[in-house]
């Protein structure tokens, strides 16, 4: 299982939000220094989220991004990616994989064309979900709005072979160290074994990462647990 340490950027700073709330922010420091530190500790990939871009609907951190892509780690980047031109510009800036969120739900025909053009390794579709009874409601626009569709129906727009990488976040758990939604991830693995699933939201320590590995997910995004020193990146990478 791949460990992807997370860097969320807002106003040029490395921050973490609680439950995706832009008014509940903890600031941790310089994102470039943090990226260099993660790479020095052995991270193969770094997951970067442009929170300003998520609100504005277009990537906003290109100057910082060019510095971050100079580290030894590969960069997976999301936030505000709405158009193919955004994807191309990010790849040109050195991003190895681009995360597409709202567009993946709202314009699946178009996003499938992007994937066909660039290859399945270049794009990861992100589905930010909120539990709703026995289903999972997909959120859009930086988690601020319901997309009006559930997760399984949304994934049906991407038949086997059309998509490889997905990132799934339970927005009720992100940034609060409450543990991942293991039931959601097991269900996804059973329904779509063809997909490489990255789990995001809730990781609080090494035991959560061990349990995630047992679900068969391909990767885990780790944020606040690293910043609050509940887990050391070297220990997570050694699992």
Q: What is the pLDDT of residue 217?
A: 99
Tell me the CA distances in angstroms from 26 to 18, 29, 215, one per residue in order: 8, 10, 30
Between helix 84-92 and helix 108-118 the angle, nearest 10°, is: 30
pLDDT in tens, the chain (239 residues): 999 999 999 999 998 777 666 767 788 889 999 999 999 999 999 999 999 998 888 999 888 999 999 999 999 999 999 999 999 999 999 999 999 999 999 999 999 999 999 999 999 999 999 988 888 989 886 666 776 789 999 999 999 999 999 999 998 887 778 899 999 999 999 999 999 999 999 999 999 999 999 999 999 999 999 999 999 999 999 99
HEC-encoded secondary structure of 130-180:
EEECCEEEEEECCCCEEEEEEHHHHHCCCCCCCCCEEEEEECCCCCCCCCC
Nearest Cα neighbor of 75 from 48, 39, 114, 100 is 48
The alpha carbon of residue 54 and the mean position of all alpha carbons in its chain are separated, in whole angstroms, by 12
Q: What is the pLDDT of residue 20?
A: 66
CA dist., res. 31 & res. 13, Å (int): 6
CA dist., res. 36 & res. 134, Å (int): 41
* CATH at 112: 3.20.20.70
What's the number of domains the chain is made of? 1
Q: What is the pLDDT of residue 145?
A: 73
- Which strand (E) or helix (H) includes residue 199? strand 196-200
174 is catalytic: no
* Residue tagged 């939000």 (tokens): 17
Q: What is the pLDDT of residue 227?
A: 94
* Residue tagged 């941790």 (tokens): 28
Q: What is the pLDDT of residue 141?
A: 67
Q: Is the pTM of this model over 0.85?
A: yes
pLDDT digits (tens, 9 = 90+) for 99-126: 999 999 999 999 999 999 999 999 999 9
52 is catalytic: no
Q: Please identify which of the residues 50, 128, 137, 208 carries the catalytic annotation.
A: 128
Q: What is the pLDDT of residue 197?
A: 99
Q: What is the pLDDT of residue 27?
A: 86
CA dist., res. 225 & res. 38, Å (int): 14
Buried b (16+ CB within 10 A) or exposed e, 185-199: beebeeebeebbbbb
Q: Which domain holds residue 30?
A: 2-237
Q: Please identify which of the residues 8, 50, 137, 170 carries the catalytic annotation.
A: 8
DSSP H helices in the chain: 31-40, 51-56, 62-68, 84-92, 102-106, 108-118, 151-155, 182-191, 206-215, 224-227, 233-237
């Amino acid at each position: 299982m791949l460990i992807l340490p997370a860097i969320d950027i807002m106003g040029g700073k490395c921050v973490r939000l609680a439950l995706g709330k832009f008014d509940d922010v903890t600031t941790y420091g310089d994102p470039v220094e943090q990226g260099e530190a993660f790479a020095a500790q052995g991270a193969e990939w770094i997951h970067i989220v442009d929170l300003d871009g998520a609100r504005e609907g277009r990537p906003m951190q290109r100057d910082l991004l060019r510095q971050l892509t100079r580290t030894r780690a590969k960069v997976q980047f999301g936030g505000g990616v709405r158009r193919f031109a955004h994807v191309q510009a990010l790849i040109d800036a050195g991003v190895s994989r681009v995360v597409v969120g709202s567009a993946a739900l709202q314009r699946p025909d178009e996003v499938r064309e992007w994937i066909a053009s660039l290859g399945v390794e270049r794009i990861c579709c992100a589905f930010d979900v909120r539990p709703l009874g026995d289903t999972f409601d997909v959120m859009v626009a930086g988690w601020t709005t319901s997309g009006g569709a559930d997760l399984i129906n949304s994934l049906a727009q991407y038949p086997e072979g059309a998509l490889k990488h997905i990132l799934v976040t339970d927005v009720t758990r992100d940034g609060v160290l409450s543990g991942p939604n293991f039931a959601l991830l097991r269900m996804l693995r059973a329904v779509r074994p063809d997909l490489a699933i990255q789990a995001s939201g809730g990781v609080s320590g090494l035991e959560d990462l061990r349990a995630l590995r047992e679900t068969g997910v391909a990767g885990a995004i780790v944020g606040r647990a690293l910043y609050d020193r509940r887990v050391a990146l070297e220990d997570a990478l050694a699992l």
